[in-house]
């Protein structure tokens, strides 16, 4: 099996288009309802994640250039929603469909196991950030846009909401979030929440950059972070 391709099933799950409790939208996800109620086997999840680490790194931090998102610390509910959407072909990723099938990576229990492991990983204290620092006009405008458009679903601190499947966006890489934002706007994310698509339809390119710049700079609680940017995952020593 091509391990690099297999890991791509989890590459686009941190930001997503999740921003409202739209019932029809949330119900799409194949094994989602089954996997969400299963108790994860963390040890087995670690074994599965070893494959994912080829792209997301053993720490689950992805890459600061946004090639791969940070998965560490993300809500397991969000991770299960996105991965099950890929398996059910509710989220477009044609290259990965064959490798996301149960025959390739396991059943609903396998999904629960790997996301249970990922959720427990500490986050990168040095995520990729946008170019505008606090105090600049662009930062302040981004903050305003965030407060007016994003707080209701993603939370004041970008903490998301596990029960409503809104992803944690604090600590996520700027370039990754910006790319997903543009894909949502363009309709390229087929499992995007319709409410979010409406919310952002009038954003200019500069608006997108400013609001994502702000989101990338939201502080992550210390207890959720690794002790340093040089931390390595002891499970893979």
**pLDDT at 100 (0 to 100):** 61
Least confident of 2-6, 162-166, 229-233: 2-6
Mean pLDDT, rounded, for 147-157? 95
- Spatial distance between the Cα atoms of 51 and 48, rounded to a whole number of angstroms: 6
pTM value? 0.84
- Spatial distance between the Cα atoms of 78 and 154, rounded to a whole number of angstroms: 12
Q: Average per-residue pLDDT in the chain?
A: 85
Mean pLDDT, rounded, for 10-15? 36
C-beta of residue 140 within 8 angstroms of C-beta of residue 56? no
Residue entry with tokens 């194949």? 30
Domains defined for the chain, CATH in brackets: 3-121 (1.10.760.10), 137-224 (1.10.760.10)
List, for residues 153-188, the tens digit of each pLDDT value: 999 999 999 998 899 999 999 999 999 899 888 887
């Amino acid at each position: 099996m091509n391990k690099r391709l297999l890991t791509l099933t989890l590459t686009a799950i941190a930001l997503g288009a999740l921003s409202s409790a739209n019932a029809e939208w949330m119900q799409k996800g194949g094994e989602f309802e089954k996997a969400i109620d299963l108790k994860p086997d963390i040890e087995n999840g670690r074994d599965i994640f070893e494959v994912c680490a080829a792209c997301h790194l053993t720490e689950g931090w992805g890459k600061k250039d946004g090639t791969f998102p940070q998965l560490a610390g993300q809500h397991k509910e969000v991770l299960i929603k996105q991965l099950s959407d890929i398996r059910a072909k509710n989220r477009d990723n044609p290259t990965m469909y064959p490798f996301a099938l149960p025959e390739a990576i396991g059943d609903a229990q396998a999904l629960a196991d790997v996301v249970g492991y990922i959720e427990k990983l500490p986050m990168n204290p040095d995520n990729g950030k946008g170019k505008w620092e606090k105090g600049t006009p662009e930062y302040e405008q981004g903050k305003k846009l965030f407060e007016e458009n994003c707080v209701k679903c993603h939370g004041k601190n970008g903490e998301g909401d596990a029960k409503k499947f809104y992803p944690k966006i604090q600590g996520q890489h700027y370039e990754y979030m910006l790319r997903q934002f543009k894909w949502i706007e363009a309709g390229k994310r087929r499992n995007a929440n319709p409410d979010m698509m409406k919310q952002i339809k009038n954003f200019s390119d500069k608006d997108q950059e400013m609001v994502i710049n702000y989101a990338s700079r939201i502080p992550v609680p210390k207890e959720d972070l690794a002790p340093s940017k040089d931390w390595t995952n002891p499970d893979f020593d």
